[in-house]
């Protein structure tokens, strides 16, 4: 995102719009304003031009239209007790500015943020630009090319370009994903150990039967297949039961985790299970059972028929 000095705003925008791969450009200005009835300052992000593409998923309501409307992040609404449809008063350099909150958006970058049209803030000018790239554009190549173009057009160093899509405002999301990954690893480990324990006990109970089969010519490879195949049905049943329960847990746990951080998650964050993913997760139960059965299967294949036949 280029951050030019004020005199170079128009030149910087022209360079960005001329860059191959640019799909959207919107000037952005950030400032802290006081809201009537709330002691702490509110961060206001004002955009010059259409910014509905800039990465604020709508949770409730709609995107703003005109200079008297705005959208607000969930934290801002929670902290100030504001609801979609309310009209608030912001204190600007030219006096109070009344705007109506017409939508709730997902934004986790600050304690409270309002997004509105820059034309609604007298005297506001862009101090940076949000840039949306066309589909298939290489981010790194675009960034390098834009930096060269900005340096050539603005040799005084008043503008730079930064790739922020992967890092901007992701602290809370990163923590949530890390926690979910740790829980998934722990649950997978416990499930695998449970299968190993069950199959090991079952195999030891069948040691005499395995000894008889090996004495009549069953090979170690066939013994492994016998033990592993005995858990396929268990894995299939477990997977078919665990997947819907896991989806239900996901739908309950993520909103609770987000709520603890003062956030409301949009539907794209929650609706992440297409049919092929559900089928793959169900098949994962079979895979987990098969992998866990390899250890007892190896033990059964290595056991001597004579020792097995003496066992009861």
pLDDT digits (tens, 9 = 90+) for 209-256: 777 777 777 788 888 888 888 888 888 888 888 888 888 888 888 788
Judge contact between 223 and 301, C-beta under 8 A. Answer: yes
Most confident of 122-136, 151-165, 195-209, 263-277: 122-136
- Chain segment 134-171, per-residue pLDDT in tens: 888 888 888 888 888 888 877 776 677 777 655 445 56
Residue with the two structure tokens 């960005």:
16
pLDDT band with cut points at 50, 70 and 90 for residue 62: very high
Take residue 44 and report the two structure tokens written for it. 């206001």
3-state secondary structure 286-299: HHHHHHHHHHHHHH
Please give the full DSSP string across 100-158, using - where no structure is assigned: EEEEEE---SSS-EEEEEGGGSTT---SEEEEEEPTT--HHHHHHHHHHHHHHH-TT--
Does residue 76 register a pLDDT over 70?
yes
Global confidence as pTM: 0.63
- Say how many residues make up the chain: 312
């Amino acid at each position: 995102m280029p951050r030019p000095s004020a005199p170079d705003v128009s030149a910087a925008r022209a360079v960005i719009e001329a860059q191959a791969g640019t799909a959207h450009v919107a000037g952005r200005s950030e400032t802290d304003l006081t809201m009537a009835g709330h002691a702490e300052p509110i961060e206001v992000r004002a955009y010059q031009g259409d910014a509905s593409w800039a990465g604020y998923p709508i949770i409730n309501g709609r995107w703003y239209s005109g200079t008297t409307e705005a959208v607000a992040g969930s934290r801002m609404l929670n902290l100030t007790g504001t609801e979609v449809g309310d009209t608030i008063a912001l204190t600007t350099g030219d006096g109070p500015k009344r705007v109506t909150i017409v939508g709730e958006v997902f934004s986790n970058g600050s304690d409270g943020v309002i997004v509105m049209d820059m034309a609604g803030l007298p005297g506001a000018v862009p101090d940076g630009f949000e840039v949306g790239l066309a589909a298939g554009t290489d981010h790194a190549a675009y960034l390098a090319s834009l930096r060269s173009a900005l340096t050539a057009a603005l040799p005084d160093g008043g503008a730079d370009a930064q790739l922020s899509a992967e890092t901007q405002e992701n602290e809370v999301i990163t923590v949530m994903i890390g926690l979910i990954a740790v829980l998934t690893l722990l649950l997978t480990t416990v499930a695998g150990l449970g299968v190993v324990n069950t199959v090991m006990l079952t195999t030891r109970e069948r040691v005499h039967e395995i000894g008889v089969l090996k004495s009549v010519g069953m090979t170690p490879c066939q013994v492994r297949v016998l033990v592993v195949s005995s858990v396929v049905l268990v894995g299939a049943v477990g997977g078919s039961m665990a997947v819907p329960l896991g989806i239900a847990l996901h739908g309950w746990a993520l909103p609770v985790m987000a709520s603890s951080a003062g956030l409301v998650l949009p539907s794209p964050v929650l609706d992440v299970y297409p049919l092929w993913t559900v089928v793959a997760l169900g098949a994962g139960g079979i895979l987990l059972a098969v992998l866990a059965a390899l250890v007892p299967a190896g033990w059964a294949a290595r056991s001597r028929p004579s020792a097995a036949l003496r066992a009861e």
